[in-house]
Amino acid sequence: MSITLFDLTGKVALITGATHGLGQAMAIGLGQAGATLVVNGASSQDKLNKAVEHYKSLGLNTYGFLFDVTDEAQVIKNIEAIESEVGPIDILVNNAGIIKRTPLEQMEVTDFEEVIKVDLVSPFIVSKHVVKGMISRKRGKIINICSMMSELGRNTVGAYAAAKGGLKMLTKNMATEWAKHNIQTNGIGPGYFATSQTEPIRIDGHPFNEFILNRTPAAKWGDPEDLAGTAVFLASKASNFVNGQIVYVDGGILATIGKPSNET
């Protein structure tokens, strides 16, 4: 198999919410495969600037655009700017997301709606306006970042699970409608990864750390770099006949019912 199947040289990739964490890991993978990176952030210009400088320090051609992915007017304005200043968007990674951990009976409706808006509505908004250019060019790759919560429930994350379950089906419908334009729309469902956010619960003896190590057949947390290969595959011509699929990068969690805590 030719390595050129995975070559993204000359491609422009927009990754939302890629100033840190798993979004940053996937963006680095795309950049190392040759793509020009367009990194989106929403919280602060300073944080976005620091992220762009980090990418550039790795030798990656990177641009930063600050906008709210839930605001359609901002999305339209910035997509037009990206395509004018950087180039046509060949790859879109809808990664921006939030989570609010609250039992459903205690959750405010406004909080539930905010999670749905960021995690489900924003991928629709951004994709809707990016895909118009893809349709005109008859090519494109859209990658929606789903979750194991696209398949499973868990206490206190009902809004997040509802959004990510919806994103799974939105991914399938995007593929259904846009495949005829030579556009592939797929999803990635990350498992539990070793990030700065999970560091406090990854210490030996912490109940959640023990739960994840016992629940995951690979018996470890994922390395953020483990997502890069899947992102590159779904962004490259290697996946030209893969459409409407969710690839779960989870160390095997969804493949098993699990095991008792005292079983080796």
Q: What residues act catalytically?
A: 160
Q: Strand order of the sheet with strand 12-15?
A: 62-66, 36-41, 12-15, 91-94, 140-145, 183-190, 246-249
Q: Which of 113, 52, 92, 98 is nearest to 183 (CA)?
A: 92
Q: Which of 189, 190, 186, 191 is nearest to 235 (CA)?
A: 186
Q: Which of 72, 55, 71 is nearest to 63 (CA)?
A: 55
Q: Which residues pair with 40 in a beta bridge?
A: 65
Query: Is residue 61 a contact partner of residue 13, using CB atoms and an 8 Å limit?
Result: no
Q: Treating both helix axes as pointing N-terminal to C-terminal, what angle do 226-235 and 21-32 enclose, rounded to 10 degrees?
A: 60
Q: Which residues pair with 140 in a beta bridge?
A: 183
Q: Which of 77, 74, 24 is nearest to 53 (CA)?
A: 24
Q: In the Cβ-directed half-sphere of 171, how many Cα atoms lie within 13 Å?
A: 30
Question: Token pair of 105, please?
Answer: 């009976």
